[in-house]
């Protein structure tokens, strides 16, 4: 029940955080990456919720196997990651890349590590790349804006043609979204939703807008 945080949180002391009915609702309906387990039937779900909330284990009048549909065709045990003892990907870096592809030929125009772990950077390990969630925005002027990196919480601007990093800024939380651009009184802006919350990263609920330099 201790889980493997941050991907799979601990269930120890769950009853202090949620009521039994709330736990049953999550089991039956699913939440986030957790799928629904409604096929377990109501009495089984209620028994699981009671055990998780109070530690009380109850016996069924009929065996548990008779509560399940027959046959159970498949199940799901979550999104498991191959990690080392310190919680980092157990493969050689880079652990995330940003790639530009020529859609006419299918060839890579450029490819570079994307994302960093601040604690590894402090130890002299830059450009490891990291898991990232969020797409890019490409402007008519050839700038590529993207946030997406979970751990360093940065938004970046690259040269679309070369991949050169032109600018970056730290957000309140990871921008796991695609930026948008708009214009007000002739000034161009780029906005990103900084929600965070993935891979154990801090959460927030902030929209951050940046003004491009005046021409």
Structure tokens at 125: 């390990």
Q: What mean pLDDT do residues 52-59 have?
A: 85
Does the model's pTM come out above 0.75?
A: no
- Residue ranges of alpha helices (H) inside the chain are 20-29, 42-54, 118-121
DSSP designation for 166: E
Q: Is the pLDDT of residue 61 over 80?
A: no
**151-168 confidence digits (pLDDT tens):** 999 999 999 999 999 999
Cβ-contact 1, 13 below 8 angstroms:
no
Domains of the chain, start order = 1-80 (1.10.760.10), 97-211 (2.40.128.630)
User: Residue 197's pLDDT is what?
Assistant: 82
Q: What mean pLDDT do residues 189-208 have?
A: 88
**66-106 confidence digits (pLDDT tens):** 555 555 666 677 778 899 999 899 999 999 999 999 999 99
Other Cβ atoms within 10 Å of 154 Cβ, number = 17
Other Cβ atoms within 10 Å of 23 Cβ, number = 22
Cβ-contact 204, 177 below 8 angstroms:
no
Task: Establish whether the linkage from the previous residue to 71 is cis, with ω within 30° of 0.
Answer: yes
Q: What mean pLDDT do residues 13-34 have?
A: 90
Structure tokens at 96: 């995330």
Q: What mean pLDDT do residues 141-150 have?
A: 95
């Amino acid at each position: 029940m201790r889980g493997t945080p941050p991907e799979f949180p601990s269930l120890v002391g769950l009853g202090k955080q949620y009521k039994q009915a709330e736990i049953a609702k999550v089991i039956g309906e699913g939440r986030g990456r957790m799928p629904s387990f409604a096929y377990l039937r109501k009495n089984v779900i209620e028994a699981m919720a009671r055990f998780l909330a109070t530690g009380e284990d109850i016996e069924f009048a009929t065996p548990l196997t008779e509560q399940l549909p027959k046959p159970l065709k498949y199940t799901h045990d979550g999104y498991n990651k191959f990690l080392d003892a310190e919680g980092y990907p157990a493969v050689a870096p880079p652990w995330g890349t940003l790639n530009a592809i020529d859609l006419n030929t299918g060839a890579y125009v450029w490819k570079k590590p994307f994302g960093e772990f601040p604690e590894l950077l402090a130890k002299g390990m830059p450009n490891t790349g990291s898991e990232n969630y969020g797409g890019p925005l490409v402007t008519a002027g050839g700038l590529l804006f993207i946030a997406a990196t979970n751990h360093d919480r940065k938004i970046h601007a690259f040269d679309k043609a070369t991949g050169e990093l032109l600018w970056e800024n730290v957000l309140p939380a990871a921008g796991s979204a695609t930026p948008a651009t708009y214009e007000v009184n002739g000034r161009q802006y780029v906005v990103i939703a900084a929600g965070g919350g993935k891979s154990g990263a801090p959460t927030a609920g902030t929209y951050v807008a940046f003004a491009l330099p005046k021409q």
